[in-house]
Amino acid sequence: MPSLFRRKRLMIVLLGFIVLVTLIGFSIRDRDSLSTPEKFLQDSVGWMQTIFHKPVSFVDTTVENVQDMFNVYEQNQVLKTRLSEYKGVIQENQRLNKEVDELQDTLGKSEGLSDYSSIQATVIARSSDRWFEQMTINKGEEDGVEKDMAVMTSDGLVGKVKSAGAFHSTVLLLSGFDRSNKISSWVVREDKEEAFGLIEGYDDESGRLLLEGIKLDEELEPGDTVISSGLGGVFPSNLRIGTVEEVVNDQYGLTKTAYVEPFADLFDINHVMVVDRSVETIDTSSEAEGDES
């Protein structure tokens, strides 16, 4: 019965198409948390990755250590010269910290936007599809990780938590940011006030972040530092993001757009900190804008 067979095959193709559209529609919308089966699968694969990660990374770090040993002498020389500078900076820092504490005491304000606690995590895998700029870390909701928290390395911001499972979470890297993941930020300039802007995306071709909505009369220099402002509701302030490389007027000539080179290397990431802001975060899902962070 060829006609029946053909009809069955057609049915399967149609059914497959319906399943595809339904699943994409279900998963691509902005979800607050993953469904339970997804969390379960993510955690089980995460455990296996952790098991395989141990021996492989051991070999990896041993090779790196041997390579490092050849550079130790030169590095030591450079570091010694730096050390004397740091002593001065530390003293100044202590003095300033004390001053800030005193001022905050007089104001009766104990928590600032820059206060945060951090959760240490290790990167155990990265998305195999390069169109998805995300990676898996070995800490989840049980360790206090929540959706939309900032993720940093010692160099600077690398991304934010896209979804948290029970013991593992997925991190969306800066290179995967778009208009629905804005970062409210400040450009720190010498002798001038900070300029405000929003990180609104990533330029794939040059590998730089787009800092948009800067006022036309603000003058930025290449080399100025970009930090998070903490006004977006989720990220604390003073997280280092990157340096301004190039400033252009936007397509309508109303604001300026700066290209920002991220401090952190977005490709070679091994250990990260998940940043938990001390000040209560604002529930952004209720805002019409989507999640500005």
Partner 1 sequence: MSRYVIPLFCLFLLVMQGMAMSLLPAKLVYSDLLITPHWILIFLFIIAIFYDKDHTYHAVWYGLVFGLLIDVVYTGVLGVYMITYTLIIYVVHGLKKLVHANFPAAFLLAVIGLILADALLYIVYSFVQITSISWVDYGLLRLLPTLAANMIFFTLLYPLVKERAYDWSEEISNV
Q: Which residues bind partner 1 (CB under 8 A)?
A: 16-17, 19-20, 22-24, 26-28, 38, 41-42, 45, 48-49, 52-53, 56-57, 60, 123-132, 134-136, 162-163, 170, 265, 267-270
CA quadruple 229, 118, 127, 141: dihedral sign:
negative
Give 39 or 277: the residue with its C-beta nearer to partner 1: 39
Nearer to partner 1, 57 or 278 (CB): 57
Q: Please say which residue, 161 or 220, places its beta carbon nearer to partner 1.
A: 161
Single out the residue of 107, 96, 145 nearest to residue 272, CA to CA. Answer: 145
Q: Is 208 exposed, middle or buried (0-12, 13-18, 19+ CB in 10 A)?
A: buried
Minimum CB–partner distance for residue 220 and partner 1 (Å)? 28
* In the complex, least distance from residue 25 CB atom to partner 1, rounded to whole angstroms: 9
Report phi then psi at 3, rounded to 5. -70, -40
Minimum CB distance to partner 1 smaller for 38 or for 143: 38
Q: What are phi and psi of 235, to 5 degrees?
A: -80, 145
H-assigned helices in the chain: 2-28, 36-107
| Residue 142 CB, nearest approach to partner 1 (Å) | 19
Based on CB atoms, which residue is closest to partner 1, 177 or 186? Answer: 177
CB of 135 to partner 1, least distance (A): 7
> Least CB distance from residue 130 to partner 1, whole Å?
4
Can you say whether the dihedral through the CA atoms of 38, 40, 45, 49 is positive or negative?
positive
Amino acid letter for position 190:
E
